[in-house]
A and B are shown apart, each in its own frame.
Chain A
């Protein structure tokens, strides 16, 4: 049989360990091959696996201590601005992209190389063990951790056959506990050797191999996936194409053709809040989905219940109001506005937004309007209003006005939720204070400085949708579940060997038994005792076996 054991593994059947101790790491033969072999042997050793696991745990920690680009890029920018000396160094060393950094990747890749190097040979050994017979009964039992003895009036073969029957007794119907092999040892002696717990090694191998499968699936998903975020306003449609997304991210092997060309429209958005704490209780988006070549369908999207469109999933990630606004310029022509999403800033949905009005007629100044939407506004004092409830009870826009150049044609991409004020002036009143406009739903107000007028005509909702496609999800799940099942089996199935020998001696049959387990196993001796007791029901003279370590204690006076 093939023998393979990772360097340093000490879970072998305990007594094998006192066979020639694992050869000391030989001084490598000079030459490249020798070195390579030595390195491989080290890499696939238990000690290195242990070291790499601990390194992996340590290396994962900085991700909680430093902001991470993948999670929150603005926080990283802020950190870099606050730490001008240490920041760039940390950045160079990858502390803001820990999980994509060279050192983190090196650790887990080495770990997985070690794992494969370790697991493949073990699988081979295990497969041949599954086909083989339990190891033959050793001549002497003295060195085994569990022992027992007894005697019987029956002849040896009958005793051994009885023991074999006990050992074979099923654990589940049709699933014997032990694999059993009865042998005639000659000179009237018989023995049975039995082994159980192949499932332990099977589970262990399944677990490790599933981890490899998991890693491969995740990596494949990284290459094939895409993910986009879009804001969809009530009444407006959304067509699934790269250009329609506010942000879009894709794997290196992403194929634009994998974008399913569906369209979707937000019909209605429902929300419920706890009246006292204002904590959200329910969000539901009612949408109409049209897949190519099919009839439009009414669907809903809720948190925890994404919408599945042909393998792509649409998540409800956020919501808010998109007040419908028309801005007319000084000449009375509609120059801008529309349904402008305002982003909620707090529990009361006080929302901030920017209205950019670039297409004014003639050579008038461009207009930029910034301010807040208060869904249920309540006046606190002469100039202060506050939102007290997230639902639209008394909607009010509180705005200030800028004019000048919006800077949209500078070629630098602009954030639609920020106003670049560098080339604009704010409208002020006679005292030099900024002019504040208060606009109720349905009202029209004059803009200051004769810039035109603004109408707040409706208050539709918007939803922030997150669309994600990853064809490997099923594989990831399957491998994760396999790993879990393999682990559970390997941890709770003991691996044991039991031998029972019966030999004629002075007209009686003397029975001896021994047990061996993989690793330290406190349940071994009790099991051996149980088996002996079931085989030799009437043995009055001697309690079933004792562990050798107890034989040496003071209680056992000869």
Chain B
């Protein structure tokens, strides 16, 4: 077995370990949900009148208390498999680099490995003290999905790269871009949770307020209102204000890295292609994502847009980041067609 095969094996092992971790995180969250539902028996009526604070707003401190409803066993398994997976994946990335004789960020397969590595590492750091339900499940779910996609669809043999990629910028620019993507992933999960939690704290749900045109649809999904019993577990997560702060910090780190990606990319383009900016599809995608995240930072400080509404910008921004990685590499042709597919 050569190094390249060993690398692939390690990545498969990491994917498997992460799958176990995902299941454990899900069990943990299900347990929390179940307990939370039992503890608030029908206290939250399916229909919360607008303006009624509901019983949910009085639990600001609960996130700090030790939550008795957690499953110790599941958390233990989730954590240890999570850490093991990160280590295996790191091994897979390092052996891949050794097999190819260069920095392992030169094609989509390698981008995905490193991106998942960063996302799971950041998740581990964010959760070093306490597991945050939902964020763990969402990030781990995305990671497992990405690894599977990488192994089954993006895989290419490890080999050296063409002259245009033979530059230390392959390490700086691409490495930072992928790191940013990994950080944005966790930030996105935090923002989603923030919006859910905010909806519950403020008894704000589109599913319980009249929505005349799609009333049938609304009724079908009424059980899924964030204010309803299904989302009682939201009371076990940090409050929206803390989640906002956490999402902002992660997004800010991601944004600074993204800015660096943009500038580094321009410098590299100046060396390799003879112009620092040429509205290549990848450049456009990076620019659009950058502007959307800049809009997010502005929204946070604009009256009437902070909090929940600002988080919507994160959803758009993250979608652009993902599309920039997938659609632009696979569908559009441009100067960045280095995906190896």
Residues of A at the B interface (CB closer than 8 Å) are: 8-11, 22, 46-47, 49-50, 53-54, 56-57, 60-61, 63-64, 68, 70-71, 98-99, 218, 227, 274, 277, 279-283, 302-306, 313, 315, 317, 466, 468, 473, 476-477, 480-481, 483-484, 487-488, 491-492, 519-522, 549-550, 553-555
Contact = CB atoms under 8 A, between A and B. Distances in A.
A493 to B, nearest CB: 11
Given A46-B298, A280-B162, A473-B270, A491 B252 contact: yes
B295 A550 contact: no
Contacts, number: 140
Given A50-B295, A54-B295, A63-B284, A488 B274 contact: no
B295 A11 contact: no
Contacts of A98: 279
A304 B167 CA distance: 7
B267 A553 contact: no
A8 B288 contact: no
B163 interface: yes
B207 to A, nearest CB: 27
Main secondary structure on B side of the interface with A: helix
20 contacts: A8-B304, A9-B303, A47-B305, A50-B298, A50-B305, A53-B292, A53-B295, A53-B298, A71-B278, A227-B275, A281-B160, A303-B272, A304-B163, A315-B273, A473-B270, A480-B263, A491-B297, A522-B241, A550-B61, A553-B60
A102 to B, nearest CB: 17
A47 B259 CA distance: 23
B271 A304 contact: yes
Contacts of B75: none
A313 B256 contact: no
Contacts of B272: 303-304
Contacts of A488: 256
Which 8 A/B pairs are nearest by Cβ-Cβ distance? A11-B301, A303-B163, A315-B274, A53-B295, A46-B302, A57-B291, A522-B245, A10-B303
A340 to B, nearest CB: 25
Given A22-B303, A519-B301, A522-B241, A63 B279 contact: yes
Given A46-B302, A303-B166, A522-B242, A68 B279 contact: yes
A282 B288 contact: no
Nearest to A11: B301
Contacts of B160: 274, 281
A218 B279 CA distance: 14
B332 interface: yes
B295 A279 contact: no
Contact of A281 (B59, B163, B244, B320): B163
A61 B303 contact: no
A487 B254 CA distance: 12
A150 to B, nearest CB: 22
Interface string B285-329: 101100110110111111111100000000000001000000010
B61 A553 contact: yes
A99 B163 contact: no
Contacts of A491: 252, 255-256, 297
Contacts of A283: 163
A521 B163 CA distance: 48
B260 interface: yes
Contacts of A11: 300-301
